[in-house]
Amino acid sequence: MKILVPVKRVVDYNVKVRVKTDGTGVETAGVKMSMNPFDEIAVEEAVRLKEKGLATEIVAVSLGVAQCAETIRTALAMGADRGILVETDADLQPLAVAKLLAAIAKTEQPGLVILGKQAIDDDMSATGQMLAALLGWPQGTFASKVAIEGETITVTREVDGGLETVALALPAVVTTDLRLNEPRYASLPNIMKARKKPIVTMSPAELGVDPAPRLTVVSVAEPPKRKAGAKVASVAELVAKLRNEAKVI
């Protein structure tokens, strides 16, 4: 079985995000970028499935600027076999990403597409669901456990009320949650090997997809600063403040 793993290049999670002075978006110039953490989990799960003999090939896919090839190299160092870069300077939004991934899936014919449940830059949490709809495949979102037996994949997913387990016929789309696994660190030998693994570059036009944005960002602003906390001398004073100042009771 072939597994397709989309990986997104985002601002590193350790970096404090800054809004551009003109309010048009988030500052990315000169900022450390890395693979979306949820996608790291997806790559790790794909590699584990291959190590168990349940997958034969892992294809890492990234969409965006030329530097996204670095993100693919990270996936290759973790254990993916080859990469596909759809290079474009367009502002890619979830629907365009889903259409591009659907076009690649129709060509590659994977048995499973596994990707992060959301990207930490926009927190849309929509691409996996849109991709499943476009392909007409079953989906298991927010996965905290995955098991494959024959032509069925069992996904334990995190929902508001606890855990839900669903059985899906392959091919399917699975989106990963934090508790699915802990991604491995790529070893130096694997990083060196990743340099020799192939990455094919193509354009949205070759896939027959128009990546033009459908949504317009009106403005981006820093969240309001929280007021400093205060100590109270008694429970009665706390209740009074909650009732008269905070007005929450």
183-242 residue pLDDT tens: 999 999 999 999 999 999 999 999 999 999 888 888 888 888 888 888 999 999 999 989
pLDDT at 24 over 90: no
Fold for the domain defined by 2-244: Rossmann fold (3.40.50)
**Token couple for 187:** 């070893």
**Dihedral, 83, 149, 142, 111 alpha carbons, nearest 10:** 30
Lowest mean pLDDT: which of 76-85, 92-101, 222-231?
Answer: 222-231
pLDDT of res. 217: 86
Spatial contact of 126 and 16, defined as CB atoms under 8 Å apart:
no
H or E element that contains 202 = strand 199-202
pLDDT of res. 224: 86
pLDDT of res. 249: 85
pLDDT of res. 42: 97
Backbone angles phi, psi at 192, to 5 degrees: -65, -40
Per-residue pLDDT tens over the stretch 137-165: 999 999 999 999 999 999 999 888 889 99
Residue 105: C-alpha distances to residues 134, 187, 230, 236 (Å): 11, 29, 55, 62
Burial of 195 per CB tally in 10 Å (0-12, 13-18, 19+): exposed
pLDDT of res. 107: 95
Give the start-to-end residue ranges of the domains of the chain: 2-244
pLDDT at 117 over 90: yes
pLDDT of res. 28: 85
